[in-house]
Chain A
Amino acid sequence: GESVGLHLPTLSVQEGDNSIINCAYSNSASDYFIWYKQESGKGPQFIIDIRSNMDKRQGQRVTVLLNKTVKHLSLQIAATQPGDSAVYFCAESILTGGGNKLTFGTGTQLKVEL
């Protein structure tokens, strides 16, 4: 079988630099998008979300950008810290009639180097 799933894309950044993690989503009917952070041995943790009627949303040190034309999401982390090291997943959802179930994309391993 295909083993590509065992080789997560990895982003290595220096502490203090900005990180950009990208994601392509699949369903043009999705109207809600979420970024999750997952540390080893833990469940996913909510970071930030964005509705499909927006193209940018900012949180504390994080910004999510949405480009519906090309079905692309990005997560920007400012001043990356060692505690940001984790796997990051984007997820898409349909708010009405979809039960809010999440469809996750391929994760990206973020490694912060001191």
Chain B
Amino acid sequence: DTGVSQNPRHKITKRGQNVTFRCDPISEHNRLYWYRQTLGQGPEFLTYFQNEAQLEKSRLLSDRFSAERPKGSFSTLEIQRTEQGDSAMYLCASSLTGGVSYNEQFFGPGTRLTVL
């Protein structure tokens, strides 16, 4: 399968615990995005990387959230001291850059987080 993969697909945790999600983008894609989607809403941008550099972070990304892409390939999103409001689907997408052309973002299946 050459698409974007995310692991785990589902995570149930207790409030206050830390969780980490992984995203493996399409292999030649240099941009990687994280979005969060709550029930009935469209995805909301969290952050993105170009290669290993994190270029933008949304104000939605509190200090409890951290994302990395150490080698410019896979990325991890960690949430520390989870809260019930963190319950959502966390989506990863990847794309190629191409100057001023839009390059389609391919989305993974997401990781659904439930905080009890």
Binding site for B on A (CB under 8 A): 5-8, 32, 34, 41-46, 49, 51, 89, 91, 93, 95-96, 99-107
Check A101 against B45 for contact (C-beta < 8 Å).
Answer: yes
A105–B42 alpha-carbon span in the complex (Å): 6
A42, chain B: closest CB distance, angstroms: 6
Check A95 against B101 for contact (C-beta < 8 Å).
Answer: yes
In the complex, chain A residues whose CB is within 8 Å of the CB of B109 = 41-43
Check B101 against A43 for contact (C-beta < 8 Å).
Answer: no
- Known contacts A32-B102, A44-B91: A100-B108 contact under CB 8 Å: no
A107–B38 alpha-carbon span in the complex (Å): 12
User: Of A32, A46, A101, A104, which is within 8 A of B56 by CB?
Assistant: A101
- Known contacts A43-B93, A44-B91, A99-B56: A91-B42 contact under CB 8 Å: yes
Check B48 against A102 for contact (C-beta < 8 Å).
Answer: no
- Known contacts A41-B109, A45-B107, A103-B45: A96-B93 contact under CB 8 Å: no
Check A5 against B40 for contact (C-beta < 8 Å).
Answer: yes
- Known contacts A99-B55, A100-B31: A43-B107 contact under CB 8 Å: yes
Q: In the A-B complex, list the 6 residue pairs whose CB atoms are closest, starting with the nearest.
A: A104-B42, A43-B107, A5-B40, A6-B40, A101-B45, A89-B42
Q: How does the 8 Å CB contact mask read for B80-101 relative to A, with 1 for contact and 0 for none?
A: 0000000000010101010011
User: Of A100, A101, A107, which is within 8 A of B103 by CB?
Assistant: A100
Asked if B62 lies at the interface with its beta carbon under 8 angstroms from chain A, I say no
In the complex, chain A residues whose CB is within 8 Å of the CB of B55 = 99
Check B102 against A95 for contact (C-beta < 8 Å).
Answer: yes
Asked if B105 lies at the interface with its beta carbon under 8 angstroms from chain A, I say yes
In the complex, chain A residues whose CB is within 8 Å of the CB of B101 = 95
